[in-house]
Amino acid sequence: MNEIDLVRLNFNPQSLWALNAIIGLVMFGVALDLKLADFKAVLTMPKPVLIGMAGQFVLLPAFTFLLVMVIRPAPSIALGMMLVAACPGGNISNFLTHYARGNTALSITMTALSTAVAIVMTPLNLSLWGGLNPETAKILKEVALDPLEMLLAVFLLLGLPMAAGMWTGYKFPRFVERAHKPVKIFSLVVFGIFVLGALAANWRHFLDYVGFVVFAVLLHNGLALTTGYYAAKFSGLPERDRRAVSIEVGIQNSALGLILIFNFFDGLGGMAIVTAWWGIWHIISGLTVSTIWSRRDPQTST
């Protein structure tokens, strides 16, 4: 077994409760902007949404499995990559899509739907693809992962805060109009500080393994962005939709991944380090791609 597979990051139960609360607050803040109309939009533009969902929950996990078979990382890093691929779109994808001159309405719809679908698809994809790889299957057996238990955890982490945020937005629109931006910014800043604190507490482990992790995440994130874009292109979607789908598939909810790692895998080193670096890198890559696209008129792009 690789040394990194034996590493457990320093994280006490009180910190875990705090992290659970923070991710719930992040999801609540995001959901303040969501409305039932965002879900109903699937009925008016089903093709791009379905292409995006297929890229998010079918193509990316499958291509991640193939990438792992090619580069052969340590089993815990491989399982971390599979978990990231199984997560829904990240919270900043809507901003990045708007900045990239993509279809922001499509991005919002995909974020809302992927978050809801993730309650089932995240545990299912991790169990499926993790179980097909002999090395990662050993880890799943060691922790005795119960997909139904993880489904309940994802529901509590995503489903309930999302429902509470949408209900609050519906019942108290004036309050939300004033508070949604401060709540969203506050929750994301608190989460960022928390992750940096956890990283500082485990800095030695991060330095020991960051080299290969940076390489693996670079390839993996590039694969995600490319998968989303070309899935949309080959399906005949216009350029604005391609950009939205690409960013949605390339920006993953790594915060959810970290929560699940500490809840179900006892802070397994390779999984946690690759997921934490994903959370940093996809912002850098997303801003880079969005900046390039922002300078290109989607009407003239091919």
**pLDDT tens digits for range 257-270:** 888 888 788 777 78
| CA pair distance 155, 164, nearest whole angstrom | 12
The verdict on residue 145 lying in a domain is yes
Q: Is the pLDDT of residue 2 over 60?
A: no
101 Ramachandran zone, left/alpha/beta (phi>0; psi -120 to 50): left
Residue 143 neighbours by CB distance under 10 Å: 13
Is 232 within the bounds of a domain?
A: yes
Q: Which of 263, 275, 18 is nearest to 155 (CA)?
A: 263
15 occurs within a structural domain: yes
Is 202 a residue whose pLDDT tops 70? no
Strand-pairing partners, residue 89, are 252
Range(s) of the domain holding residue 162:
3-294
Cα–Cα distance for residue pair 81/213, rounded to 1 Å: 10
Instruction: Tell me whether residue 173 is in a domain.
Output: yes
Region 274-298: mean pLDDT is: 88
pLDDT at 235 over 80: yes
Per-residue pLDDT reduced to its tens digit, 238-249: 999 999 999 999
Q: Give the amino acid at 248.
A: E
Quote the number of domains for the chain.
1
Nearest to 225 by CA among 301, 293, 124, 158: 293
Instruction: Identify whether 165 is part of a domain.
Output: yes
In order of 64, 135, 229, the CA distances from 21 in angstroms are 30, 32, 34
Question: How many other C-beta atoms are found inside a 10 Å radius of the C-beta of residue 44?
Answer: 10
Q: What is the mean pLDDT of residues 171-198?
A: 71
Contact 15, 195 (CB under 8 A): no
Please state, for a pLDDT cut of 90, what percent of the chain lies above it: 30
- What pLDDT was estimated at residue 15? 61
Amino acid, single-letter form, for residue 226:
T
The encoded tokens of residue 6 equal 């034996």
What CATH code is carried by the domain that includes residue 75?
A: 1.20.1530.20
> Does the residue 302 lie in any domain?
no
Identify whether 300 is part of a domain. no
Rounded Cα distance, 297 and 301, in Å: 6
- Look at residue 151 in the predicted model and tell me its pLDDT: 78
